[in-house]
Structures are given as structure tokens and as C-alpha cells.
Amino acid sequence: MDFFTHSIFGALMYILFLKEVTFDYFYLAIFFAFLPDLDIFIMPLKRFFKSNYLDHRGGSHSYVIGIILSAIISVIYSSLTQKSFLIAWIIGMVFYGIHISLDLLTTTKIPCFYPISKNEYCFNVEKAGSSFTFLTSWIFLIINLLIYNISPELFLFVMVINIYTYFTLIYYLFRIVTKIWINLHLKDNQKYFPGVLPFFYIIFESEIVHNGISLRLEKKSHFSKSKLLYKNKAILDSEEMVFFKKGIELCKEHYYYAKWTILPIFFRNKGVFSVRFYFLETMIHGRTNYIQYDFDTFTQKAADFNRGYGRILS
């Protein structure tokens, strides 16, 4: 989920549940609602500290880290404002935790219990940085600004907030039920991916038998026919299979790439065997991120690699 949507969602949660208590901590709550995504500013520290947990959606996206950070910030906040440390800390933990919980719904795994556990989780319900929720959040904000400028009646704000709240609940419930229902009917070699819009989803099927790699990518919908996006069967010799496995190991050395599902395609040139891995979690309209490794067939080593973004080649 994007920075802006986290902020809107944090504001909405505060208005719904805490407006009758106090508005004194409203901006603090919004700050904690987007705080985990400020980890982009600590990423340069990786030059000095070789840790994957300094990456975006790394160690900052942990309930445990949230408890510690909210305590530290609340001490500073209460010292400067003379407001209750305990209330500030509770609000910090809750709204930081809301951010983590929302990101758990996406397709990118996060270490939500770091440093107690380094295991990473995701529920694969919605795309990370969904353009759909980003758009609906902007619509919600614009409508409220229009109401404020045209006719700032309280009941209109309440009506819009209630509509957006019910819409959000129904939206995520639909996403969750869809994922559960589809997963119940998948084979062991198939995987579900949410589409950009809630009515669409992707099914990826892969099978490796001896030296053959069969891949199939299909776009499905609740209300229309399926669309085949990609289908291929590659036959590799023993040397090429070794290169393929080396490519997978190289992918796993990258923190983000190790989290994602790969769709490999192969290129054969004179003296060079190339493996391009497309990452399905980031795919939008058939285009996605990829990394390509070029192996020298003489030295048996990776000679080059490059990253890019594009359509999955047939």
C-alpha cells in the first residue's frame, strides 16, 4: 500500500474510533500511520551496514520495531507538548500496527515479527502499491475538500466517511474471500495473484519434469472469459539446467527478488546462455520487472546481468 493511502486510512481510523475521545493526537496518529514507509531514508545506511533489514519494507515493517519506535517518539513528543506519554505510545503502537497489517495483505512479504523472528509473511490479497486503492483514496480526499468548500455540513462529511468505510471493508473482504476461494481449487503447481482491479486475478502454473520447464500464465475474471497471457515449454540440456539453477541462486542474493515468484525465459546465443527472470508480483497489464543473467558457456560463469521492466516475451 502506498504512502498516501496509509495516511488517508490512518486519518479515517482516527475519525471513526477516536473523534469522540480527543482530536489532540490526530496528526500524531497520521504520522505513525505512514512512519514505516519512511524507511526509504535509511536505505543509504546499507553502504555501511550490510543488512537487508535496512531496505524498504524491511526491518521497519515489524510490530516489534513499531512498539520500540513509538515508545521513543512518544517520549520526545510528550516532552515537547506536555501531553500524555502513555496515550501517545498507545496511539503510536496502534497506528504503526495498522500500517503493518495493511501491508501484510499485499503480495510482498515483510518480516512483521523482526527481530524476534526473521520469517517473512504476506497474505497475497492485493498488489503492493495498488493503483486502485491509491485512486479511491484520492477520490475520497477530493470529495471531502469539495464538500468543505461548497457546503461544510457535518452530516455530509459523516456520510462520505461512512460510504468510504463500508466500501473499504467490502473491498478487502471481497479480495480476501476471492483469494481463499480460488486457492481452494488450485493445483499444487499453481499460484494465485491478485489483479489491479478486484474482479481480475492471475493464475501462474509451473512444472519442472527432468529437463523440461512448462509455464502458463492466465488472466481470469469473475465475469468474463479467461485470457492466456503466456504459455511455453522449454527443454534444457544438462549444462543449461545448471545455468538455470545458478540464476535462481543469484536471484536469491537480492533481498526483494528472493521474495518474489519467478517466470524464467531463455535465450541462446553463440557462447552465451541467458536466463531472464520476470517477477510476477509486480506485473501490471503484462509488464513487470525482470533481471537477466548471461552465462559464458566456456567459463561456466555469469558474465553479465541487467535489470529492466517490460512485457513478458513469448
pLDDT tens, residue by residue, 231-274 = 999 999 999 999 999 999 999 988 888 999 999 999 999 899 99
Tell me what pLDDT residue 76 has.
97
Tell me what pLDDT residue 172 has.
93
What is the C-alpha separation between 158 and 169, in angstroms, rounded?
A: 16
DSSP 194-211: E-SSTTEEEEEEEEEETT
pLDDT tens, residue by residue, 125-173 = 998 778 888 898 889 889 888 887 887 777 788 888 888 889 999 999 9
Looking at residue 305, its amino acid is F
Tell me what pLDDT residue 184 has.
95
What is the C-alpha separation between 115 and 87, in angstroms, rounded?
A: 25
Q: Which residue ranges of the chain lie beneath pLDDT 50?
A: none
What does the DSSP 8-state code read for residue 108? S
- Find the helix or strand (DSSP H, E) in which 215 lies: strand 212-221
- Find the helix or strand (DSSP H, E) in which 18 lies: helix 3-18
Asked if 24 and 4 touch (Cβ cutoff 8 Å), the reply is no
